[in-house]
Structure 1
Amino acid sequence: MKNITFATIALAALVQTALAAGKCGTQTCSQSTPCCVGGYCNSNAQYCMPILCEAANSFSPSSCWNTAHCVKSNVAFGSPNAFAQIADYDGNPADAAFVSQFEPSNAKVVNGELQMALVKQNNGAGFGATVIGTRAFQYGTVTAVMRSGCASGGVVSSFIIRNEKVGDEIDFEFVGADTATVQSNYYWHNQLDYTKMVKSPALSDTTLNYHTYQIQWTPDQIVWLVNGNAFRTVKRSDTWDAAANTFKYPDSESYISVGIWDGGSGAKGTADWAGGAIQWNKQPFVAAVKSITIDCYYNGNETTYVPSGGNGGGSSSASSSTTASPTSTSSGSSSSGGDSGSGSSSSGGSSNGSSGSKTGSSASSKATSSASTRSSKSAHSSQSESDSSVDEDSGSDSPSSSEDSSTGNGAGSLAASFGVLASALLAAYVAL
């Protein structure tokens, strides 16, 4: 009897564990659509890239693609392997240094430069673009030669370093309300303090002229430069929060992105910051990037920094890691914005393409790329996706492909679970 009781209890525990494993919202991801993002399962890059993929909620922890780490590079967008549409990306960063995060895509390479457009949708809001790096980046120098697409109030362009899951961000943001400066800001763990925004000195029209924007990020400080001239420095030591007993300094491995989105359709604070509703008679709105240069802090290839004792400070160490081939792919992005009525921005990379509340950052289209959209929304605070409403509506539409496959996914996982249970039950009887 004792054996039977023990076997029964063990089997019940196994049943509970199996049924709870891999829960993605109301779905259970299957082997054919293994990656979970925001409650939906799929097998493409938007879902499986590590920037958004939820390993604990996917078919298995190894379903999410492996993280490719920093490699020193000079990405000229007229060269091969610089850019790919996300639908064509299979997880190998050697094939594409940057990918367009959303579909339909408003990003493409034209005449040797990356062009990202903001276009008007039937509902009157704009749908933009976010292009994100395929390698994670933690400390170093990132330089973008670009011009903004902010030829009207309401249009926002961005150049950002962001960890969508943690909420750390360092950014440059351009708003149509002011084409003679660029704004700088940083955020820690999604604490969106727009009062920390600092503008650059006066520049020649950022929509007509290419300027060189650079972020130097080390464990000790962040420096923002335009055309080689530093105009802002934030030291880690100055971010100490005694009440929280921590440095509120962005230090998590992140992703580099550039984008354009509709801030004028967002909440009032975001719209005011961006310059009001977009004047569509001033189209086209196209942000263009000639090159992005990445210099890894640890000089090398695939290195990752792990803060000693977490975010709290102390010495740091660099550990080398080899990137394994990915098993699937995902999307990623960052975003930002300037909601909260203050008008500064908050994040900027992953957005869908639509309008803007400061939570997503680049373009927001709430409809086609729900996985990316969803994640960017929650992470930033305004620009990207929800830029127009990421923060506010937080509601990107769910991906139809994911929804279509959800029933099958659940059935496949349940079948596998019951197979395991059957084996366990048989083993229990044999033991008796």
Structure 2
Amino acid sequence: MKCITFSAVAAAALLQTAAAAGKCGDQSCGKKTPCCVRGYCNANAMYCMPMNCEPQNSYSANSCWDTPHCVSSKVDFGGGDAFAQISDYNGDPSSAAFVSQFEPSNAKIGGGRLQMELVKQSDGKGFGATVTNTRAIQYGTVSAVMRSGGNSGGVVSSFIIRNDKLGDEIDFEFVGHETSSVQSNYYWHDHLDYTKMVKSPSLSDTSQNDHTYQIQWTPDQIVWSVDGNEFRVVKRSETWDAAENTFKYPDSEAYISFSIWDGGSGAQGTSEWAGGAIQWGQGPFIANVKSVEIDCFYKGNETTYTPPGDSDDHSTSSGKDDDDDKDSDDEKSASEKDKSDDDDEDKSSDDDEDKSSDDNSSSASDKDSADENAGKDEPSDDKDETDDVNTGSAATMLVSLGTTVAALLMAYAF
């Protein structure tokens, strides 16, 4: 009898817990503003694009836009469908290959190039720009013809492939006080090991001359090249961590992005790495990209790849899946996205590792601006009352149902 009574109470508690799920900060998103990002709800691209949107906190699990997968292409920034401001993007990747991530936007097309400018704010800090590919990639070769943002310390430019939610990253980073080389690094699940950074051989001034920077990413290895010359290789087999029983190798579906940001105003470790405070008199500071070529690992197929399990043999994988595996990947892509979205997004580091937020391809001021814009875009307490009523009614019905179930089962027990 006690067992039945406990089960009834537990059932009611579970239903009540379900009714409280889906909170976005201190509110619940409604039908008209369904997408949640950092405690705010809205319906535009800044909120609903899959790299930002939080499905578990949104109006429903289907509120966030689907993830468009990789299609091999060459993006020429002189073309009309290469770039869009985020306020103009409707979620169709064929309408824009890349989209700016912030408002106000310091990214634009000029002279047939994508231009991203670092602008001095009233507090003396710089506010930059981040531009992200509208399709996700999981393995492939990405080449960018570009120039870094300037020759002053503190100015940091980036070419990155990153999954923000999991913290997998492969990057090129340019620091303004060292324009004769570019830095390469990679991270797995935000395990930030800056000692793994490797510089390229000597280059002509990266802020004044075009160079072709290439990342070749496969299930087996990552290769960094500049102007066709390989200078670094990391093999997946070399990343095995016996203590944690896993390969610390970036293998999750991610987004290509370019950015410029103020590293000089960051924490001491970041500022020292970036070359100190920005010398604004040496500006303007504009990173620009002429073109990007994307060669997907899976030719002509918008599929994803499931890496070998950690229980598998520690040897590297054999390469591409066969046709049956590709068909299976098609069916699994949606569930893989949901799993990725549900992964823990908390990030932490010591004071000397404050560069973690910088490695997300934007400065702290960029993120603050994004939060401020989120607050401005979010409707006030008088938002869609119908949605609130519907949400409240659903919660009431669930709680009532839970109570009824408990009562009936308890009555039956007696």
Q: Return the TM-score normalized by structure 1.
A: 0.80
The whole-number CA distance in structure 1 between the counterparts of 2:295 and 2:382 is 41
Cα pair 1:173 1:184 within 8 Å, conserved? yes
In structure 1, what is the Cα distance between the partners aligned to 2:243 and 2:6? Answer: 49
Seen in structure 2, the aligned counterparts of structure 1 residues 410 and 283 have a Cα distance that, compared at 3 Å, is farther
Q: What is the 5 A alignment of 1:222-261?
A: 222-261=222-261
Please give the secondary structure, in 2, of the residue aligned with 1:136: strand
Please tell me the residue identity of whatever aligns with 1:321.
Answer: D
Are the counterparts in 2 of residues 339 and 358 from structure 1 also a CA contact under 8 Å? no
In 1, the alpha carbon distance for the partners of 2:169 and 2:368 equals 25
SS of the residue 2:67 aligns to: coil
Tell me whether 1:36 sits opposite 2:36 in the alignment.
yes
The one of 308, 321, 325 equivalent to 2:330 is: 321
Distance 2:270 2:87 in 1: 31
* Aligned residue runs from structure 1 range 101-112, under 5 A: 101-112=101-112
Deviation at 1:261, TM superposition (A): 0.2
For 2:395, the aligned partner's letter is S
Q: CA deviation at 1:151?
A: 2.5
Instruction: Report the alpha carbon displacement of residue 406 of structure 1 after superposing the two structures with TM.
Output: 9.0
Q: 1:14 to 1:278 in 2, by over 3 A?
A: same
Number of the residue aligned with 2:114: 114
Instruction: Give the counterpart letter for 1:221 in structure 2.
Output: Q
Task: Choose 259-268 or 47-56, whichever is displaced more.
Answer: 47-56
Change (3 A) 1:154 1:20: same
Q: Give the TM-score of the pair, scaled to structure 2.
A: 0.83
Structure 2 equivalent of residue 170 of structure 1: 170
Give, in whole Å, the separation in 2 of the partners of 1:97 and 1:406. Answer: 36
How much has 1:76 moved relative to structure 2? 0.5
| Counterpart residue type for residue 269 of structure 1 | G
Return closer, same or farther for 1:427/1:198 CA change in 2, 3 Å cut-off. closer
1:206-239 deviation line (CA, Å, top 9, x unaligned): 0000100000000000000000000000011111
Report the counterpart of residue 358 of structure 2 in structure 1: 358
Q: Secondary structure at the match of 1:365?
A: helix
CA distance in 1, matches of 2:6, 2:350: 57
CA distance in 1 between counterparts of 2:389 and 2:208 reads 54
Distance 1:7 1:226, change over 3 A: closer
2:72/2:295 contact within 8 Å kept: yes
* Per-residue deviation, residues 19-45 of structure 1 (Å, max 9, x unmatched): 322122322222221112222222211
Q: Distance in 1 between matches of 2:167 and 2:117?
A: 26
Kindly indicate whether residue 118 of structure 2 is the aligned counterpart of residue 140 of structure 1: no
Partner of 1:369: 370
Number of the residue aligned with 1:352: none
SS at match of 1:159: strand
Gaps of 5+ in 2: 335-340, 342-346
Which of residues 405, 417, 426 is equivalent to 2:395? 417
> How far apart, in 1, do the equivalents of 2:211 and 2:112 lie?
16
Spell out, residue by residue over 1:334-377, the C-alpha distance to the aligned partner (whole angstroms, 9 max, x if none): xx9x99659xx967xxxxxxxxx63432344244312xxxxxxx
Tell me the amino acid that sits aligned with residue 304 of structure 1: T
How far apart are the structure 2 equivalents of 1:340 and 1:228?
37
Partner SS for 1:307? coil
**Number of residue pairs aligned between Structure 1 and Structure 2:** 384
The reply to whether residue 25 of structure 1 matches residue 1 of structure 2 is no
Query: Structure 1 stretch 33-42 or stretch 88-97: which is displaced more?
Result: 33-42
Larger Rg: 2
- State the one-letter code of the partner of 2:236: R
Q: How much is the aligned-residue C-alpha RMSD, in angstroms?
A: 3.4
Corresponding residue of 2:270? 270
